[in-house]
Structure 1
Amino acid sequence: MVNKFLLRGLGFFNDAYDLSVINIINVILQDQYTKGVYTAQMKSNVSSAALIGAVLGQLTFGFLGDMYGRKSCMVATCVILIVGGILCAAAYGGSAVNTLWFLFVARGILGFGIGGEYPLAAASSSEDATSTADRNRRVALTFSLQGVGFIFAGLMGLLMVSVLDETKTQLEIMWRVLFGVGVLPALFLVYFRITAEEPEAYKTMLTEEVHLRTVRWTFILKHYGRSLVGTAGTWFLFDIVFYAQNLFTASILSVVGAKSTLRTIALQNVLISLVALPGYYVAVFFINRMGRKNIMLMGLTLMTIIFLVLGIGWHSISGNATVFIILFGLTLFFSNFGPNMSTFVMPTEMYPTAIKSTCHGFSAAMGKAGASVGSYGFALWVDNPSFGYIGTWYTFAGISLLALIVTWFCMFDHNGESSELDNEFKALLAQEDMETRKSFSHDTYAIEATPHVQRV
């Protein structure tokens, strides 16, 4: 039997691989089809398709996860990952342009499954915890497999470009194999998810008949609106930066330093991922020691500073690949030891069990909406002579600063037990029901007490 950590974490590894493998595939497709066919616009379309699908998946499965349970929904997302991955690997449209549009649709389907994993993995990981500290550590460890997925995607890209030549036929083999590999973890997981059980906290909630069927969005916004501004707003802003970086690292490296081969770009891409990866595990170590909000504030502050350095010194930094790899890698390190980890963990502690999946899914969806903005816009921004990379780095610095401000005013650590939030939620819901019944009774009495006027 696969343990609970791998049951959720391996799915997240799968998601990260599927999202980030487009990084090196973008360069491969551009070499195969040339910039005349794989234009900046088409690159933005293909890169952002999975993110747009993820927004829909997060909203849909966040809601369904609270309505129908974590288990059945995680089986469904696993199946969608398999179907979407197969469609990506088999993409064909009769011509280069049609094949790319087929890939756009297939990536959207894949993204729908990827998106569903976010709220379900987060909610179920937190609900199996034995204590507050264990809850944060479990969720953080599950999320840390995103970094492993990024590394694996980079290594697979490096392997493909090392064993195959850069002919059109072999370039096509490269990207199809890279997409196909992403199907394997989901194929492995689907049986174990079918035989898994619901988390205890969710089962307890069902026995008390307190779940999303009894809650209106007006209630959620009234009592948890500020928290939603914090979790959704920071995730939206941060992911504009984070996914623009991660999905286009290989494209950025192609313009840094001397003219590089595909193999050199793939190697440098792996090196950046290696610099970034420890950030996840430093965050896991400090998740309870520093607190999630402090980690987020620290990471955003350092990201803002490094982006300003990149913007100010771009003319000299762009000619030195080593300096760029260190600075760019550090922005990703402090993303992971910072807002990337905190935006995922904090919704699991800021919302009660009955609406946790829904609110986490909504927040994650706003994150992927931001990622779509970054993914779609990045290729267009850097190709604009009046904006370019310098304008992009300054924009990233400004967005990071804005996310820091929202974090300061709208985010909080909850160091108590989840049951405290659940009890508070039930009390608020009972109070709301009582007020509704009183209002209804008063209206009914007023109608009955109104004298009937006989029409003459």
Structure 2
Amino acid sequence: MARQLGVLNALDGAKTQWYHFTAIVIAGMGFFTDAYDLFCISLVTKLLGRIYYTVEGSKKPGTLPPNVADAVNGVAFCGTLAGQLFFGWLGDKLGRKRVYGITLLLMVFCAVASGLSFGHSAKSVMATLCFFRFWLGFGIGGDYPLSATIMSEYANKKTRGAFVAAVFAMQGFGNLTGGIVAIIVSTAFDHAYNAPSYEVNAAASLPSQADYVWRIIVMFGAIPAALTYYWRMKMPETARYTALVAKNAKQAARDMSKVLQVELEAEVEKTERYSQDPGNSFGLFSKEFRKRHGLHLVGTTVCWFLLDIAFYSQNLFQKDIFSAIGWIPAPESMSAIGEVFKIARAQTLIALCGLIPGYWFTVAFIDILGRFTIQLMGFFFMTVFMFALAIPYHHWTLKENRIGFLVMYSLTFFFANFGPNATTFILPAEIFPARLRSTCHGISAAAGKAGAIVGAFGFLYAAQSTNKDKTDKGYPPGIGVKNSLLMLGGINFLGMLFTLLVPETKGKSLEELTGENEESEQSTGASGFT
């Protein structure tokens, strides 16, 4: 196209309007639910061990066997990876909106079903829970490429980074809400059923109602997803998909005229010329794609993979780290419900001190500093703080230094979110062509979830204590928390290096970045980047 389609120019130049905030809330509530559903399981895994694996008559609380703990913590990530690839591809084939509601319905059903997990034995209950959490993850996976693509295609070019980052920032509130819900539920049951106080012997601290606690916490994730479904179905398809992929200029103009509340011309001839341009038709596995976007895809996938190893390791197993430094007392000194309370309190503090501020710093500064700068800076400081925690690790285990540990640990979360955890989500939604945007974002996000799986399965074993009690229960000798933190610091350093493969996208339209607004004779040799 010699000149950008008018409907796309209108979107790029639109002032911030009410529909922008509506789109942020609608897409963001999906991510709120995603974070809640993925991380709430870490709040109740110790309770599951007590309920289903405490030996009758024993004075020691039960724990999940290593293979069961692996499955419960990691199976949702396996589903998420599959969902990101499948729904990412489907979003480019059928349209963003047509599959957007399916992901929510799947999340609602599987969140409820997870909480209703049944069986005659501990093994069958855990198997049912893992089955439904896999499919819960599958629905969550679809939310990543679809929400990112929809928000980037709706936004104007000056504040696109902030809008997409705001959608992703809802993860922080989902994480925080998980902690708050667990605190409320555990406190309510403690008082309502006269459960033992938080500092009693664990042998007598498992009220029969404890089974309701984890089920309520898990099922609560269905509520925000259900509330969002109606509004998602009312959203029109994005103009970029309708015009550039579906080739329906009239429908794109009609939809965006309602959204922007202006009259827009349906440029049918220009859309037809675009569709006939060979530079706008190459596929994902073509030589032209490798030439234009091959290194970009390597950069987005590897950076997300490395980031998620560190980020999800910290999130899922922060309870083990807090226990290792003595910030959470030994299980024998707490009731089952009291342990949920203290783990939830720790997660809530981390979310308030590190997660949420980091997300919103990104929203505030991403269109000022740029994506590349924030990602590089985030990986750098994550590396610094990981090593600062790991090298003098025994210093932090002293009781008088635990507040310092909490501050340093919160800073790693802050710079993950004011850094690569946000930018790895934003960049794949900007640098690939419209017909491949959702697919490439899904591939990048799936690489991230592969990293989360490495973190979920690998860190569980790596961080295990090497004492005989753990080994006798089937845990292999672990390398300990200190060496695990050292490894995560090295992973973050690699993330800095691979960040050099991703481009800066600040202030450019999506078509400028991908070369989709160029004439045929120019498009075969241009990548859209300078």
Fold similarity call, TM over 0.5: yes
Matched, 1:419 2:511: yes
For the Cα contact (< 8 Å) 2:159–2:367, is it kept in 1?
no
More displaced stretch, 185-194 vs 30-39: 30-39
Q: How many pairs does the alignment contain?
A: 431
Q: Residue 251 of structure 1 aligns with which residue?
A: 320
Q: Deviations over 1:288-324 (max 9, x none)?
A: 1111111111111111111111111211212343222
Give the Cα–Cα distance (whole angstroms) in 2 for the partners of residues 212 and 120 of structure 1: 21
For the Cα contact (< 8 Å) 1:55–1:364, is it kept in 2?
yes
Which residues of 2 match residues 342-381 of structure 1 at below 5 A? Answer: 342-381=423-462
- The 3-state SS of whatever aligns with 2:460 is helix
Which residues of 2 match residues 161-240 of structure 1 at below 5 A? Answer: 161-165=186-190, 167-205=206-244, 206-207=246-247, 208=271, 209=275, 215-218=283-286, 219-240=288-309
What displacement does 1:104 show?
Answer: 1.1
- The 3-state SS of whatever aligns with 1:133 is coil
For the Cα contact (< 8 Å) 1:15–1:149, is it kept in 2?
yes
Matched, 1:143 2:168: yes
Which residues of 2 match residues 35-46 of structure 1 at below 5 A? Answer: 38-46=64-72
Q: Residue 20 of structure 1 aligns with which residue?
A: 39
Q: Residue 357 of structure 2 aligns with which residue?
A: 278
Q: What residue ranges of structure 2 are gaps of 5+ in the alignment?
A: 1-18, 54-60, 191-204, 248-270, 467-477, 525-530
More displaced stretch, 212-221 vs 292-301: 212-221
Give the Cα–Cα distance (whole angstroms) in 1 for the partners of residues 447 and 130 of structure 2: 21
Give the Cα–Cα distance (whole angstroms) in 1 for the partners of residues 186 and 219 of structure 2: 16
User: What residue identity is the alignment partner of 2:210?
Assistant: L
Give the Cα–Cα distance (whole angstroms) in 1 for the partners of residues 520 and 71 of structure 2: 44
Give the Cα–Cα distance (whole angstroms) in 1 for the partners of residues 411 and 513 of structure 2: 36
Root-mean-square deviation over aligned CA pairs: 2.3
Structure 2-normalised TM-score?
0.77
Give the Cα–Cα distance (whole angstroms) in 2 for the partners of residues 107 and 24 of structure 1: 15
More displaced stretch, 360-369 vs 204-213: 204-213
User: What residue identity is the alignment partner of 1:32?
Assistant: I
Q: Residue 392 of structure 2 aligns with which residue?
A: 313
Matched, 1:269 2:347: yes
For the Cα contact (< 8 Å) 1:67–1:213, is it kept in 2?
no
Relative to 1, partners in 2 of residues 1:214 and 1:296: Cα closer, same or farther, differing over 3 Å? closer
Give the Cα–Cα distance (whole angstroms) in 2 for the partners of residues 376 and 57 of structure 1: 19
What displacement does 1:31 show?
Answer: 2.8
What displacement does 1:213 show?
Answer: 8.5
User: What residue identity is the alignment partner of 2:382?
Assistant: M
Give the Cα–Cα distance (whole angstroms) in 1 for the partners of residues 223 and 404 of structure 2: 36
What displacement does 1:30 show?
Answer: 2.4
User: What residue identity is the alignment partner of 1:371?
Assistant: A
Give the Cα–Cα distance (whole angstroms) in 2 for the partners of residues 170 and 274 of structure 1: 30
Percent of paired sites with the same residue: 34
For the Cα contact (< 8 Å) 1:54–1:365, is it kept in 2?
yes
Which residues of 2 match residues 94-113 of structure 1 at below 5 A? Answer: 94-113=120-139
Give the Cα–Cα distance (whole angstroms) in 1 for the partners of residues 73 and 351 of structure 2: 19
Relative to 1, partners in 2 of residues 1:247 and 1:46: Cα closer, same or farther, differing over 3 Å? same
What displacement does 1:358 show?
Answer: 0.7
Matched, 1:391 2:483: yes
User: What residue identity is the alignment partner of 2:502?
Assistant: M
User: What residue identity is the alignment partner of 1:86?
Assistant: V
Structure 1-normalised TM-score?
0.89
What displacement does 1:167 show?
Answer: 2.3
Give the Cα–Cα distance (whole angstroms) in 2 for the partners of residues 159 and 106 of structure 1: 25
User: What residue identity is the alignment partner of 1:197?
Assistant: P
For the Cα contact (< 8 Å) 1:48–1:375, is it kept in 2?
yes
For the Cα contact (< 8 Å) 2:511–2:517, is it kept in 1?
no
What displacement does 1:282 show?
Answer: 0.7
Relative to 1, partners in 2 of residues 1:360 and 1:427: Cα closer, same or farther, differing over 3 Å? farther
More displaced stretch, 333-342 vs 312-321: 312-321
Q: What residue ranges of structure 1 are gaps of 5+ in the alignment?
A: 433-456
Give the Cα–Cα distance (whole angstroms) in 2 for the partners of residues 167 and 426 of structure 1: 67
For the Cα contact (< 8 Å) 2:370–2:505, is it kept in 1?
no
